[in-house]
Amino acid sequence: MTRSQAGTPEIEASVDGMIRTMRVARALMLGGRTVCLDGLDTQVEALCARCLEAGPDDKARLRARLLTLRAELDATIPLIEPSAGEVGCVSTTS
């Protein structure tokens, strides 16, 4: 087992965790709550870098999860409106 293959379950768990986080964030925003997404861009960037280190077979398996994450991000982005004075925190318009 190569180093990249050994880390693949952890990468998959990280992607799945981020998918769940985005789903919860979107549900909270739809409910009118303020959600702090500070650092999300850094987390996604680090996750993508880890995926690039995976082996070819692992990349194919990770691709489906990353496409799901992309769909979750795309569904959440339209709900984001920066909150005044709260860097990294977002809320929906009410």
As a three-state string, the secondary structure of 7-52 is: HHHHHHHHHHHHHHHHHHHHHHHHCCCCEECCCHHHHHHHHHHHHH
Q: Name the CA radius of gyration of the chain, rounded.
A: 15
pLDDT tens digits for 9-64? 999 999 999 999 999 999 999 998 888 888 888 999 999 999 999 988 899 889 99
What is the reported pLDDT for 39? 87
In the chain, the largest separation of any two C-alpha atoms, in whole Å, equals 52
As a whole number of angstroms, the distance between CA 43 and CA 22 comes to: 12
What does the pLDDT read at residue 36? 86
Per-residue pLDDT band for 3 (boundaries 50, 70, 90) equals very low
pTM, 2 dp: 0.78
pLDDT for position 88: 53
